[in-house]
Amino acid sequence: MAFLELEHLHKHYATQTVVQDFNLNVEQGEFISFLGPSGCGKTTVLRMIAGFETPSAGQIRIDGHDVVRLKPNQRNIGMVFQSYALFPNLTVAQNIGFGLSVARQPKTQIKQTVQEMLALIKLADLGERYPFQLSGGQQQRVALARALAIQPKVLLLDEPLSALDAKIRVALREDIRAIQRSLGITTIFVTHDQEEALSISDRIVVMNQGHIEQVDTPLAIYNQPSTRFVASFVGALNILNATVSAPEQGMLQIENQTLQLQQPLPHPMGTTIQLALRPEALSLTPKENTDQTLVGQVQQVQFLGSVLRVQLKAGAQNLVLDQFNQPQLIPIQVGQTLKVYFASNQVLLLGAG
């Protein structure tokens, strides 16, 4: 039996269904991300776990107990919001101690817990400050400490990093993960940022239009997306139209160029199917496992810092290639014809298009 169990959760409002048949088991201490575009229902599921929304149907069990009928203040769940939601009239220490003080814990006990929490979020000296005196990142740390102080059974994070700058976002997400590991607290993290979800999670739940597309580890989500939506939402993707020329040998034609995959194709000869290739799976130089090539003409070269992005056109089809920037690279000219190398086992088959 899992620690947090969501069974057949549905949520609909008067005119629209926002969550349909959501099933998920979360083990104790697991770090789960809900990933999806805005409006996909990920926040609604989180809010149903917290008790801010009532499911139209379905069950939510924490540690074996059904909580659907419990009010939010009876569920013992820690929640961190995108907007921090610190109490502006209380100091940092009072904010962190709020939940304990509501629970009428003795003052010395509260003081001690607050000190521990301040140390945990590395803001030991700022207990007497007011929220408005802190930076966004510091405020969100305090919000995290406040949620953890009550020793919740489950920690829910609703896009906690969206309001922060890029560098602080990366630093704080690593801290959140480290704190979560050290406390072993079961955590659900809602985000629309795929890099965030991939880097931080034990498992990712990819959602789209109210239902689950795939639940798996970050690597599996990225490398073996089970649906076309997952493939295109997580990471960048080249999608190519190919015509099956010899299904048993795995032979394909793309714009008069021939590919041979290392597997037979389940489509009859002459079918047009779609292939997907990650930009970083393509290379301008041959490597040990790159058994396939395509030729294209350079349309644009974009320098993104660590990555140099080359946009090519093979016939009518677009191909984007990423390579690490290296100062000694020979500059690539727009209009130039280049050969692109890749491994046949990196080709994702999206089926007949």
Contacts with a copy of itself by CB under 8 A lie at 38, 165-166, 192-195, 198-199, 218-219, 222-224, 234-236, 278-281, 289, 302-307, 309, 322, 324-328, 343, 345-346
Residue among 46, 48, 41 nearest 67 (CA): 48
C-alpha dist (Å) from residue 253 to 73, 131, 245, 267, 272: 61, 61, 6, 13, 9
DSSP string over 53-105? S--SEEEEEETTEE-TTS-GGGS-EEEE-TT----TTS-HHHHHHHHHHHTT-
Structure-token pair, residue 29: 């201490």
Q: Which of 71, 108, 256, 330 binds other proteins (CB under 8 A)?
A: 71
37: amino acid identity, one letter: P
- Region binding other proteins by CB under 8 A among candidate stretches 98-106, 212-220, 230-238, 320-328: 98-106
Residue among 36, 55, 58, 99 that touches other proteins (CB under 8 A): 99
Q: Which among other proteins, a copy of itself, none contacts residue 257 (Cβ within 5 to 8 A by kind)?
A: none
| Interatomic CA distance for residues 49 and 34, integer angstroms | 13
Which residue's CB is nearer to other proteins, number 93 or number 221? 93
Choice between 199 and 297, CB closer to a copy of itself: 199
Q: Which is nearer to other proteins, 38 or 306 (CB)?
A: 38
Looking at residue 100, its amino acid is L
Pairing mode, if any, of strands 292-303 and 337-342? antiparallel
Site string (38-57) toward other proteins, x via CB under 8 A: xx---xx-----xxx-----
CB of 89 to other proteins, least distance (A): 4
x-or-dash string of contact with other proteins, 102-141, rule CB under 8 A: xx--------------------------xxxx--------
Sequence-ordered alpha helix ranges (H) in the chain: 42-50, 92-102, 107-120, 136-149, 166-183, 194-200, 218-223, 228-233
Q: How far is the CB of 327 from a copy of itself (least distance, A)?
A: 4
Q: Does 83 bind other proteins (CB under 8 A)?
A: yes
The single residue listed with the structure tokens 């940092």 is 92
